[in-house]
Amino acid sequence: MTRVASISTLAAALMFATSAVAQVSATPPAAQKSEPEKPAAKPKTKPHTVTKKPPAPAATPTPAATAAPAPDDPNVDRVYGAYQRGQYKTAFDLATARAQAGDPKAMTMLGELYANELGVRRDDAKAVAWYKRAADAGDREAMFALAMMRIAGRGAPADRLEAVKLLAAAAKLGEPKAAYNLALLYLDGQTLPQDLKRAAELLRLAADAGNPEAQYALATFYKEGTGVEKDLEKAVRLLQAAALADNVDAEVEYAIALYNGTGTPKNQPAAVALLRKAALQNSPIAQNRLARVLVTGQGAPMDKIEGLKWHVIAKTSGKGDLFLDEALAQLSPEDRAKVEDAARRWLNVK
């Protein structure tokens, strides 16, 4: 496998998820070679300064400011509880009363509900107004959500400079998603001067707070020595943490590290299990690597039918492989039909 991304094509894929829940991922899917060898490749990166073509960014991110309940205020707990249960109209009514009494968390919740059309008709202008009131009152999640609205130009004309100020303020207050997205801006080098060391610092803040996207991005920094001293062991630990949080790209790269024993003891059974998990989550890279493992029998019992099924599936996403094409061509007509039937069934179900 080849290195998945380098800090130079991620910059082109800078994208913000205006959701406090679903964070942005500037992580492009790793590009790999098609050699018939074991799935060894340097995993990809996630920050934007890498040499890899990132996945297409989501069209218009939706800001979802997660209004965390204040443990010492049972009224706010009721608002958040209703929100979590999907009782958005109840959450709206409760939050309105609390917001009118000056509670910033309730204001943030109203911004969330208006921004995402939950329990009320979508109204970006009202969402921005409530987020701004909460942000002015010091709520870090409102600052983050408002920044995302400013970047997307929702509820008001786009204003990236104001968004930067809001992200910086929220990051200073410990909001990991704000730190992550601000790091992307320092990587992108367009809204802000490119500053890889500052980006690494911000990614570390978000990664330490458990943000899987930041963990994956920072792993790339350590793997390539970007903004930090190169350290493969730290990179692998971060990949492991992000993989445990179900970051699919991290699962693939961590699997590759385990398969090859790069920065961690070799563990091919665990690597194959992770590749299988990521393949089932529709990662073309994982599908391709798993196909090679199964077709060659390197790291798992040989199973050409199953392996070539994953090859056919990966090709539908543009991940071709000449070696596997040749293996498929060498099958008997009966076995080839089995492969195509298995791939068709999987594609129709997923």
CB distance 195 to 161 below 8 Å:
no
Which residues, 6 or more positions from 132, have their beta carbon under 8 angstroms from its beta carbon?
Answer: 142, 146
User: Exposed, middle or buried by CB within 10 Å (0-12, 13-18, 19+), for 72?
Assistant: exposed
Give the whole-angstrom CA distance, residue 155 versus residue 129: 9
Which residues, 6 or more positions from 134, have their beta carbon under 8 angstroms from its beta carbon?
Answer: 104, 105, 107, 108, 111, 141, 142
Give the whole-angstrom CA distance, residue 141 versus residue 244: 25
Round to the nearest angstrom and report the end-to-end CA distance of the chain.
26
Predicted pLDDT of residue 5: 40
Predicted pLDDT of residue 73: 52
Residue ranges with strand state E in 185-247: none
Q: Is the pLDDT of residue 40 over 80?
A: no
Q: Which two tokens stand for residue 346?
A: 């999987």
Predicted pLDDT of residue 139: 97
Predicted pLDDT of residue 304: 97
pLDDT tens-digit series, residues 169-194: 999 999 999 999 999 999 999 999 99
Q: Is this model's pTM higher than 0.85 or not?
A: no
Categorize the per-residue pLDDT at 206 as very low, low, confident or very high, splitting at 50, 70 and 90.
very high
CA 320 to chain centre: 24
pLDDT tens-digit series, residues 218-272: 999 999 999 999 999 999 999 999 999 999 999 999 999 999 999 999 999 999 9
Categorize the per-residue pLDDT at 74 as very low, low, confident or very high, splitting at 50, 70 and 90.
low
Predicted pLDDT of residue 337: 97
